[in-house]
Amino acid sequence: MATENVSSTYETYYVPDQSKFPIWASLGLFLFVFGMGNILNDIQAETGTGGSTIITLLGFAILGTVLYNWFATSVRENHQGLPSAQLKRSYVLGMYWFIFSEVMFFAAFFGALFYVRTWAVPWLGGEGDKGITNMLWPEFQAAWPVIANPGEAIFENPDESMAWTGWGDALGYLPLWNTIILLSSSVTVHFAHVGLKNNNRKQLTAWLSVTVLLAIVFLILQVEEYLHAYHELGLTLNSGIYGSTFFLLTGFHGFHVTLGAFMLFVMLMRTLKGHFKPEDHFGFEAASWYWHFVDVVWVCLFLFVYIF
């Protein structure tokens, strides 16, 4: 076999050896969703969920353990200097496209919200091209938020919605606070990043801690808001389309915030362990991009779910 004229700038692309992670991760993922499916069906059928819960937890444990070790291995490999600059670029691209896929996931829910507000609800209320539909729901009047559902017998009408009620109540309006908190957290994580790039570890640790803290406060307020909705406003998943869109959009956002907060927390731990260099800190960057993404989604939520 001929030897190559390897150009001096070329680094070998790091192709890892065999790995046990993927197959175990697949098994974990499978057990997790299979168990979840069983739990849901058990609840529906009003039978016990014991066995299914065990499968789910087992799946979750396997998946969690594998992912932990997987990431740990990648970090270790990085410390050993195995990945080339090119591989690092692959990670960056991977993260970009992953975030794009998340954007599209939210797009589905925003699209649904847009559709019901622009078409379905007006039609049901007798407006627009298919307004004749109102024959079936003579009592129903189109309005957003929908407080009185077309089929009131099946879905429990909420007493009140979460909508913005004007500047008068602004101070007590949790979503506004949450907006402020998330927006500032995007700034703080940026400060942390600047600190990292300037090799100012103190700035990094401090601002990253603040970011994690803000994330936690956001989540606490979000829980508070849900409790308020459930207990005081009668606004639940079962409240018809307003509740459905409200909880799915904010709920999945909250879930992503949790994920993002967890990532940032891991980055904080790694920072404390002395990881990351000014010119090499992909893990941190990925977490912070994700955080900015979560932030942008919130801004859209705030505008289209709460304000308009």
Partner 1 sequence: MQPKTKIFSAVLSACCLFPYQLASAAEDYREGINMPVGVTEISRSTYDLHMLITIICALIGVVVYGVLIWSLVKYRKSKGAKAADFHESTTIEIVWTLIPILILVAMAIPSTGVLRQIYDASESEMDILITGYQWRWQYSYLDDEGEEVSFFSNLATTDDQINGLDEKSENYLLEVDQPLVIPVDTKVRFLLTAADVIHSWWVPDFAVKKDAIPGFINESWVIVEETGTYRGQCTELCGQDHGFMPVVVEVVEQEEFDRWYAERQEEAAAIAELVNQEWTMESLVAQGETVYRTFCMACHQQNGQGLPPAFPALTGSPLTNGPIEDHIDVVLNGAPGTAMAAFGGQLNEVDLAAVITYERNALGNSVGDMVTPAEIFQIQSESE
Partner 2 sequence: MSNVGILDGHDTHHDDHDHHHGPAKGITRWLYTTNHKDIGSLYLWFSLAMFLLGGSFALIIRLELFQPGLQFVQPDFFNQMTTMHGLVMVFGAVMPAFVGLANWMIPMMIGAPDMALPRMNNWSFWILPFAFAMLASTLLMEAGAPNFGWTFYAPLSTTYAPETVTFFIFAIHIMGASSIMGSINIIATIQNLRAPGMTYMKMPLFVWTWLITAYLLIAVMPVLAGVVTMMLFDIHFGTSFFNAAGGGDPVLFQHVFWFFGHPEVYIMILPAFGIISEIIPTFSRKRLFGYDSMVYATSSIAFLSFIVWAHHMFTTGMPLAGELFFMYATMMIAVPTGVKVFNWISTMFKGSITFETPMLFAIAFVVLFTMGGFTGLMLAIAPADFQYHDTYFVVAHFHYVLVPGAVFSIMAGAYYWLPKWTGNMFDENLGKLHFWLSFVGINILFFPQHFLGLAGMPRRIPDYALQFADYNMISSIGAFLFGFSQLLFVFIVIKCIRGGKQASSEVWESSHGLEWTVPSPAPYHTFTTPPELPKRVHS
Single residue of 123, 207, 284, 302 touching partner 1 by CB under 8 A = 123
Single residue of 136, 220, 269, 307 touching partner 1 by CB under 8 A = 136
* 132 interacts with, out of partner 2, partner 1, none, CB within 5 to 8 A per kind: partner 1
Q: Please report whether residue 40 would count as binding partner 1 according to CB under 8 A.
A: no
* Closer Cβ to partner 1, 140 or 298, answer by number: 140
Single residue of 98, 164, 177, 191 touching partner 2 by CB under 8 A = 98
Q: Please report whether residue 130 would count as binding partner 1 according to CB under 8 A.
A: yes
Q: Output the smallest distance, CB 261 to partner 2, in A.
A: 21
* Closer Cβ to partner 1, 15 or 154, answer by number: 154
Q: Output the smallest distance, CB 295 to partner 2, in A.
A: 19
Restricting to residues 212-241, which ones interact with partner 2 according to CB under 8 A? Answer: 236-241
Q: Please report whether residue 154 would count as binding partner 1 according to CB under 8 A.
A: yes
* 227 interacts with, out of partner 1, partner 2, none, CB within 5 to 8 A per kind: none
Restricting to residues 19-58, which ones interact with partner 2 according to CB under 8 A? Answer: 19-23, 25-27, 29-30, 33-34, 36-37, 40-41, 43-45
Whole-angstrom distance, CA of residue 87 vs CA of residue 73 = 15
Count of chain residues binding partner 1 (CB under 8 A): 11
Restricting to residues 157-216, which ones interact with partner 2 according to CB under 8 A? Answer: none
